[in-house]
Amino acid sequence: MLRFTVRSINIINIPIRCLSSTNIVSAPFKQKEGKTKQKMVTKKNDKVDVKRSTNLTHLPFGEAVRNLQFEKTASELKIDELTSDFSRGKVFIYPKKIESKLKSMGGFKKFQFQESFAKPITLTTSNTTRINELFVNKLDEKFENNRLYIDGSKGIGKSTLLNQAIALSLLKHNHDIIVLHMDNAEVIGNGSSNYIFNNKLSIYQQPMITRRWIKKILAANEDTFKKMKLTQDVKFTKDKLEIKLTANKHTLYDYLSQNFEFGKTDPHTHFKYLINEIKQHSKNIPVLVSIDNFNAVTDFSLTQYKSPDFNPIHIQEFEMGKFLIDVANGSIGFEKGGVLLSKCNDFAPNRKTIEVAVYPEREYNLYMKQPEFDLELARKLQGIKPFEMTSLTIDESRELMKIWKDQGVLIVRKDFNKKDFNQESSQVVEVDMESQFEKIVLNSFNTSQGNPMGMFKQIALTY
Amino acid sequence: MIPSRLIYRQIPRSIISPTIRYNSTTTTAQPVKKVESNYFLTQIYPISETEITDKDLDSWIEAVKNLKQGKKIFDTKEEIYLNQIVNNSEEYLKKSFEPSLKQIEESKKYADKAIPLMNDPIVDNLVNLIMRHGKKNLARKVVNRAFFIIQMKLRKDPIEIFKETLDKLGPVVKTRSMSTGFAKKKIVPQPMTERQRNRFAITWILEASKSRKSNDFSVRLAEEIINAYMGKSSGYDKKAQMHKLATQQRAYIQL
């Protein structure tokens, strides 16, 4: 009976609350007699969480070194900027504009250890002077006749030379040049991207790779593309709206910055249009195409991708692959400019396609088959001139090591000696640090034979 | 001084072996090089004093072969000459060595100087403690990379930083339980040598580096060494605990 009366009181209360302006949910509950009000209490941990301030990264060494931004901890560099009339055997930094362009293109690679300096540095060697004479000075000539393949052992500075060539040609032409740089050509065939078949063009397209590459070249050639007027009208859709760009009014920059159809998974003809536009402008503006790791394209001509018959697709059946081969072949149709191809020693050294194409006078095994050798492709690539790298001289390497020493990368130490525990008053032997530095220079130069990567590894990665 | 053995390992293979020319069938006759008279070969081969050609060397080898087979009648110059050497072989077999005056003078230059070690002994100790299944090169690679990260992060000599952290982190005393012969054991504090202290510190650093995020051991090790250098490692608690125990049992110190 008592319970009933209590409930009845509650029921009576509700209509009164309903008349009020506030919501019923927000109304406070009537406290039952004899009970204390319950509160939400959060448990407090007695242990104080100590934050580990030096948690660097989850990445492995190669990526960690790039990701941790060590260049911020480096001391200031007081080195001259690279100019077109540079002197040989000196260390330079790139001009600010060129450095940002090279960064956006992916010119500075992993395991080059550029992070150890405040800015990327570069040493001008005999290779630089040679490439200046053989390639950069000939950019105004015919595109077909200006094709070089940079060859050399691992760590000798092939990718660095590509950067130097790009920088020098930008300086020479006052940034009025189209630079189409591809920093990792192996991505076309290594099965890391999506791919679709374009029935109209009867070619395979790789939207992911194409979109990324166009993003890079757009960042690198922004000023040049803004000057280049379109030669043909073009249409594309952006945000479900059709955009029409007219010839002689809009620029190539307008086209590339707005067009996102390169990355769509539907077949399109935009890449063909882009190449055609560059072709039209190449009469006035020279085109520099530089492809790093080019041997990965030719030596792995049968790609990891499979056709509907489950056969491997040839590299030339891809839009980007065909573009690279046509560029290397010279048949792309650019008027002025040149191609720089570079080798990478990380890929199978027993594959001979590019070697046979570049060095036709060398003898080779006639019975070689795929995948070691692709005869058709080798014949197609004939006419490329080899550019063999020479290693650093002793003076050049000494100059480079001085910079390493100033930047705190090379640390000159005393020789390691055994401690004499018994002799209390051991003599303090003074060591001449300059002679010690000279000893390090000679030692590393002799062992690495003037290979900069070998020298760096010996100095900074050996304890 | 960087050891030559290590250097050899650090250099890419392509540098060590020069580019080999495959499938070469060309048989262009190379001109025979004339050897000058001051060349070392002419000193031990006095038959042709001015120069030695390939023919001379062939006849030399033939003479050696003939003498080995036991030929006793000598026809050629080489055979006669070689036989003389064999007869006076005692001169060449002398094992005593007398240095020349030049050599003695040169040796005085280096009298005070000790032969430098290949590596820093403390770094070597770290490498050896990281090493598993005898894979020293792998352990060395880990240490090299970790030290590189430390050098880049702090811009100081990583060896000095490592030594400093070991000095900070290493405990001074440890405790050892000794049986007294009765029911109760006593815990005796004992001072440690430098090597023992370092070993404790290194093992604590390696233990702590296991809890780090990265999959790469070198990155984890670098993080932990930097942490310990800053004075934040979990090893400091262990050190304090050891010291506390030792101070509690200080009555048992044996001098």
The complex scores an ipTM of 0.82
A443 and A334: one domain? no
What is the reported pLDDT for A12? 45
Is B151 in Cβ contact with A155 (below 8 Å)? Answer: no
Would you tell me which residues 44-103 of chain B have a C-beta closer than 8 angstroms to some C-beta of chain A? Answer: none
Residue A251, both tokens: 């620029």
Is B232 in Cβ contact with A52 (below 8 Å)? Answer: yes
> Which residues in chain B have their CB less than 8 angstroms from residue A65's CB?
148-149, 152
For the cut 50, the answer to whether the pLDDT of residue A19 exceeds it is yes
Binned at pLDDT 50, 70 and 90, residue B143 comes out as very high
∠A188-A193-A197 over CA atoms, to 5°?
85
Q: CA Rg, chain B, in Å?
A: 32
Given the structure tokens 């100081």, which residue do they identify? B156
pLDDT tens per residue across span A279-327: 999 999 999 999 999 999 999 999 999 999 999 999 999 999 999 999 9
Binned at pLDDT 50, 70 and 90, residue A29 comes out as low
pLDDT tens per residue across span A50-94: 554 556 788 889 888 888 889 999 998 889 999 999 999 999 999
Q: Is B161 on the interface with A (CB under 8 A)?
A: no
Given the structure tokens 């580096």, which residue do they identify? B209
Least CB-CB distance to A363: which of B4, B25, B119?
Answer: B25
The H or E element containing residue A305 is strand A302-306
Tally Cβ neighbours within 10 Å of residue A154.
17
H helices within chain B, ranges in order? 4-10, 13-16, 40-44, 54-69, 77-87, 89-92, 101-109, 121-130, 136-154, 158-169, 194-209, 217-230, 235-248
Residue B76, both tokens: 């050629």
* Nearest residue of chain A to residue B16 (CA atoms): A448
Question: Which of B5, B6, B10, B145 to probe the A interface (max A CBs under 10 A)?
Answer: B10
How far apart CA A390 and CA A417 sit, in angstroms, is 38
Selection from A1, A52, A363, A289 nearest residue B211 by Cα:
A52
How far apart CA B173 and CA B177 sit, in angstroms, is 13
Q: Residue A410 falls within a domain, yes or no?
A: yes
What is the reported pLDDT for B81? 84
How far apart CA A141 and CA A288 sit, in angstroms, is 12
Residues A56/B223, Cβ–Cβ less than 8 Å:
yes
Selection from A140, A182, A414 nearest residue A283 by Cα:
A140
CA-CA-CA-CA torsion sign (A347, A214, A386, A353): positive
Least CB-CB distance to B145: which of A61, A154, A408?
Answer: A61
How far apart CA A348 and CA A346 sit, in angstroms, is 7
> Which residues in chain A have their CB less than 8 angstroms from residue B14's CB?
153-154, 345
- Rounded to an integer, the average pLDDT of A109-136 is 93
pLDDT tens per residue across span B99-115: 899 999 999 988 877 78
Is A58 in Cβ contact with B215 (below 8 Å)? Answer: yes
∠A223-A214-A64 over CA atoms, to 5°?
100
Q: Residue A244 falls within a domain, yes or no?
A: yes
Per DSSP, B175 falls in state E
Q: Where are the beta strands (DSSP E) in A17-163?
A: 91-93, 121-123, 147-151
Binned at pLDDT 50, 70 and 90, residue A7 comes out as very low
Least CB-CB distance to A448: which of B11, B114, B218?
Answer: B11
- Rounded to an integer, the average pLDDT of B196-205 is 96
Tally Cβ neighbours within 10 Å of residue A10.
10
Q: Is the peptide bond before A349 cis (omega within 30 degrees of 0)?
A: no
Long-range contacts of A139-142 (CB under 8 A, 24+ apart): A139/A169, A139/A172, A139/A173, A139/A177, A139/A286, A139/A288, A139/A336, A139/A337, A139/A338, A140/A286, A140/A336, A141/A336, A141/A338, A142/A335, A142/A336
Question: Which of B7, B124, B142 to probe the A interface (max A CBs under 10 A)?
Answer: B7
Is A56 in Cβ contact with B152 (below 8 Å)? Answer: no
Binned at pLDDT 50, 70 and 90, residue B75 comes out as confident
A347 and A402: one domain? no
Quick check: helix, strand or coil at residue A204?
A: strand
Quick check: helix, strand or coil at residue A244?
A: strand
How far apart CA A136 and CA A156 sit, in angstroms, is 20
A238 and A376: one domain? yes
What is the reported pLDDT for A424? 58
Per DSSP, A150 falls in state E
A409 and A440: one domain? yes
B167 phi and psi angles, rounded to 5 deg: -65, -40
How far apart CA A73 and CA B226 sit, in angstroms, is 15
Q: Residue A122 falls within a domain, yes or no?
A: yes
> Which residues in chain B have their CB less than 8 angstroms from residue A460's CB?
148, 151
Residues A251/A259, Cβ–Cβ less than 8 Å:
no
B103 CA to chain A: closest CA distance, Å? 23
Q: Is A154 on the interface with B (CB under 8 A)?
A: yes
Residues A452/A446, Cβ–Cβ less than 8 Å:
no
Q: Calculate the alpha carbon distances from B75 to A430, B72, B225 in Å.
A: 65, 10, 76
Amino acid identity for residue A383 in this structure: G
Selection from A347, A357, A297, A316 nearest residue A148 by Cα:
A357
- Rounded to an integer, the average pLDDT of A217-242 is 92
A149 and A201: one domain? yes
Q: Is B234 on the interface with A (CB under 8 A)?
A: no
- Give A308-363 as a DSSP string: TTSPEEEGGGBHHHHHHHHHHHTTT--SBEEEEEE--TTS-TT--HHHHHH-TTS-
How far apart CA A337 and CA A172 sit, in angstroms, is 13
A284 and A365: one domain? yes
- Rounded to an integer, the average pLDDT of B69-76 is 85
Binned at pLDDT 50, 70 and 90, residue A148 comes out as very high
A222 and A183: one domain? yes
∠A414-A416-A420 over CA atoms, to 5°?
115
Domain encompassing residue A260: 69-388
> Which residues in chain B have their CB less than 8 angstroms from residue A440's CB?
2
Is A440 in Cβ contact with B214 (below 8 Å)? Answer: no
Specify the length of chain A in residues. 463
How far apart CA A248 and CA A227 sit, in angstroms, is 11
Percentage, residues of chain B above pLDDT 90: 48
Residues A125/A161, Cβ–Cβ less than 8 Å:
no
What is the reported pLDDT for A9? 45
Q: CA Rg, chain A, in Å?
A: 32
What is the reported pLDDT for B83? 83
| Beta-bridge partners for A198 | A203
Is B24 in Cβ contact with A58 (below 8 Å)? Answer: no
What is the reported pLDDT for A137? 94
Binned at pLDDT 50, 70 and 90, residue B182 comes out as confident
Helix and strand numbers (H, E) in chain A are: 16, 13
- Give A375-425 as a DSSP string: HHHHHHTTTPEEEE--PPPHHHHHHHHHHHHHTTSS---PPP----SS-SS
Q: Is A365 on the interface with B (CB under 8 A)?
A: yes
Q: Residue A205 falls within a domain, yes or no?
A: yes
What is the reported pLDDT for A401? 95
Q: Residue A64 falls within a domain, yes or no?
A: no
A273 and A346: one domain? yes
- Rounded to an integer, the average pLDDT of B4-28 is 48
Least CB-CB distance to A60: which of B148, B153, B219?
Answer: B219
- Rounded to an integer, the average pLDDT of A249-265 is 91
- Rounded to an integer, the average pLDDT of B173-194 is 89
Tally Cβ neighbours within 10 Å of residue A161.
24
- Rounded to an integer, the average pLDDT of B228-252 is 93
What is the reported pLDDT for B70? 86
Binned at pLDDT 50, 70 and 90, residue A126 comes out as very high
Given the structure tokens 């990260």, which residue do they identify? B149
Q: Is B215 on the interface with A (CB under 8 A)?
A: yes
A244 and A338: one domain? yes
How far apart CA A175 and CA A84 sit, in angstroms, is 12
Is A408 in Cβ contact with B143 (below 8 Å)? Answer: no
Is B155 in Cβ contact with A73 (below 8 Å)? Answer: yes
Identify which has the larger pLDDT, A176 or A40.
A176
Tally Cβ neighbours within 10 Å of residue A145.
11
Is A453 in Cβ contact with B149 (below 8 Å)? Answer: no
> Which residues in chain B have their CB less than 8 angstroms from residue A420's CB?
none
A298 and A447: one domain? no
- Indicate the pairing of strand A241-245 with strand A287-291: unpaired
Q: Residue A3 falls within a domain, yes or no?
A: no
Amino acid identity for residue B23 in this structure: N
Identify which has the larger pLDDT, A21 or A125.
A125
Would you tell me which residues 37-56 of chain A have a C-beta closer than 8 angstroms to some C-beta of chain B? Answer: 50, 52-56
Q: Is B114 on the interface with A (CB under 8 A)?
A: yes
What is the reported pLDDT for A11? 46
CB neighbours of A373 closer than 8 A, spacing ≥ 6?
A: A351, A352, A353, A356, A364, A365
A378 and A412: one domain? no
Residues A191/A304, Cβ–Cβ less than 8 Å:
yes
A412 and A384: one domain? no
For the cut 80, the answer to whether the pLDDT of residue A407 exceeds it is yes
Q: Residue A59 falls within a domain, yes or no?
A: no
Would you tell me which residues 334-363 of chain A have a C-beta closer than 8 angstroms to some C-beta of chain B? Answer: 345, 362-363
∠A461-A462-B4 over CA atoms, to 5°?
140
Task: Specify the number of domains making up chain A.
Answer: 2
Give the number of A-B residue pairs with CB atoms closer than 8 Å.
Answer: 151
Is A443 in Cβ contact with B2 (below 8 Å)? Answer: yes
Is A413 in Cβ contact with B2 (below 8 Å)? Answer: no
Residue A143, both tokens: 């595109």
Say what the alpha-carbon torsion angle A95, A100, A101, A105 is, to the nearest 10 degrees.
140
Q: Is B21 on the interface with A (CB under 8 A)?
A: yes
* Nearest residue of chain B to residue A450 (CA atoms): B15
Residue A207, both tokens: 């939207």
Q: Residue A43 falls within a domain, yes or no?
A: no
